[in-house]
């Protein structure tokens, strides 16, 4: 029978959600009014919303849906403070009646997914050349100290967590959407496989072999400290105007993750657009061993 490991490190103390940003009365009132206005039927027909984003104007939008969290706003704020990545400017973020609202800048440009396969090799190379140093900067963003009593009692560079030490969101992970925090990358790996340390007897021969291999790879893995990770670098979340990168958006999965996570997630990000897999190693450091480890995990748990 499968047994949970008895050597699992206790989880970090529970951490609160990231704090709100500029959430004074008038900013909250403005954001709520704009969402109410943008949600009118005639307006929705005129200005189509997308993935929980209400487009107010060419330079302003509000993010609000069931999976929107304050962690996302803090991630964009942190990125703008420490990098030259064109992430949206945050005007305010707050929670109201169980929903999080983020009033932010609407970035110019169109998603790379719009016509990427029809771009010339020269055009593609120009865009990928801009992305590479941007993502290198993201790896060097320092982990923030707890704000206003939120987050972990002190900065712990080994924790896999949301921006301020709390949970992180990833809709592609098995069984649940919100994960962590984990004290170490090894604890994170164990969490991904339900803390299994031995393979259940009832598994098929193929699955038995795969899971046994995965356990060995993850238990022997020597990890560097987690780094700030976007977590969803698809061609839909990178904007460009011509050959110029104008924005990286949709930071809902941003977290402090294993160094390889950005690469393996970007490689798997869209099963309907396999062309993107060819581009990922051109702007992110490749992790071939970790990619094979993730392919194995996703096959075992039937996750693309």
For residue 129, pLDDT beyond 50: yes
pLDDT of 11 above 50 = no
Asked if the model's pLDDT at residue 15 lies above 70, the reply is no
Where is the domain boundary, 81, 105, 129? 105
Q: Which of 72, 105, 138 is the last residue of a domain?
A: 105
Same structural domain for residues 127 and 268?
A: yes
Number of structural domains the chain divides into: 2
Between 207 and 263, the more confident residue is: 263
Q: Is the pLDDT reported for residue 164 higher than 60? A: yes
Residues 149 and 38 in one domain: no
Task: Give 280-299 pLDDT, tens digit per residue.
Answer: 999 999 999 999 999 999 99
208 confidence band (pLDDT: 50, 70, 90): confident
Strand partners for 256: 161, 228
**Residue where a domain stops, chosen among 105, 136, 162:** 105
Q: What is the pLDDT of residue 45?
A: 56
29 phi and psi, to 5 degrees? -60, -40
Q: What is the pLDDT of residue 9?
A: 46
The SS3 of residue 161 is strand
What's the CATH code of the domain at 54? 3.30.200
If asked whether residues 254 and 166 sit together in one domain, one would say: yes
Do 29 and 94 fall within a single domain? Answer: yes
> Are 121 and 223 part of one and the same domain?
yes
Are 116 and 99 within one domain? no
Which run of H or of E encompasses 54? strand 53-55
The Cα 226–Cα 231 span in angstroms is 13
One domain for residues 10 and 159: yes
Strand 227-229, strand 255-257: pairing:
antiparallel
pLDDT of residue 12: 44
Which CATH number do you get for residue 250?
3.90.1200
Q: Residue 52: what pLDDT?
A: 80
Q: What is the pLDDT of residues 40-95, one digit of tens each?
A: 765 555 556 566 889 999 999 999 988 899 999 999 999 999 999 999 999 999 99
Q: Where are the alpha helices (DSSP H) in the chain?
A: 25-38, 41-46, 70-82, 121-139, 185-192, 205-220, 261-268, 275-283, 288-300
Give, in order, the Cα–Cα distances in Å from 24 to each of 27, 88, 95, 146. 5, 20, 12, 21
Closest C-alpha among 35, 168, 26 to residue 92: 26
The whole model's pTM is what? 0.89
The average pLDDT across 225-253 equals 97
Same domain, 149 and 243: yes
Same domain? For 274 and 141 the reply is: yes
For residues 134 and 266, membership in a common domain is answered with yes
Shared domain for 154 and 8, answered yes or no, is yes
Nearest residue to 161 via CA among 174, 151, 175, 172: 151
Q: Are residues 139 and 268 in the same domain?
A: yes
97 burial (CB, 10 Å; 0-12 / 13-18 / 19+) is: exposed
Domain that holds residue 170: 1-16+108-304
């Amino acid at each position: 029978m499968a047994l949970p490991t008895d050597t699992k490190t206790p989880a970090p103390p529970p951490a609160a959600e990231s704090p709100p940003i500029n959430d004074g009365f008038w900013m909250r009132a403005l954001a709520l009014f704009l969402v109410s206005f943008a949600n009118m039927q005639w307006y929705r027909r005129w200005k189509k919303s997308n993935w929980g984003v209400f487009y107010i104007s060419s330079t302003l939008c509000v993010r609000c849906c069931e999976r929107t969290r304050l962690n996302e706003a803090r991630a964009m704020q942190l990125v703008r403070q420490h990098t030259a990545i064109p992430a949206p400017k945050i005007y305010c973020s707050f929670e109201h009646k169980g929903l999080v609202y983020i009033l932010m800048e609407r970035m110019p440009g169109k998603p790379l997914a719009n016509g990427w396969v029809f771009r010339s090799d020269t055009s593609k190379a120009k865009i990928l050349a801009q992305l590479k140093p941007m993502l290198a900067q993201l790896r060097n963003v320092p982990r923030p100290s707890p704000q206003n009593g939120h987050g972990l009692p002190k900065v712990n560079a080994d924790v896999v967590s949301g921006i301020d030490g709390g949970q992180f969101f990833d809709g592609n992970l098995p069984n649940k959407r919100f994960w962590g925090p984990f004290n170490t990358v090894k604890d994170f790996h164990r969490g991904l496989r339900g803390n299994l340390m031995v393979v259940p007897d009832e598994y098929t021969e193929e699955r038995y072999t795969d899971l046994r291999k995965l356990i060995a790879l993850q238990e022997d893995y020597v990890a560097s400290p987690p780094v700030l990770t976007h977590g969803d670098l698809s061609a839909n979340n990178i904007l460009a105007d011509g050959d110029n990168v104008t924005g990286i958006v949709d930071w809902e999965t941003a977290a402090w993750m294993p160094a390889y996570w950005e690469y393996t997630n970007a490689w798997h990000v869209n099963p309907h657009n396999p062309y993107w897999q060819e581009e990922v190693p051109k702007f992110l450091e490749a992790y071939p061993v970790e990619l094979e480890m993730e392919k194995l995990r996703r096959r075992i748990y039937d996750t693309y």
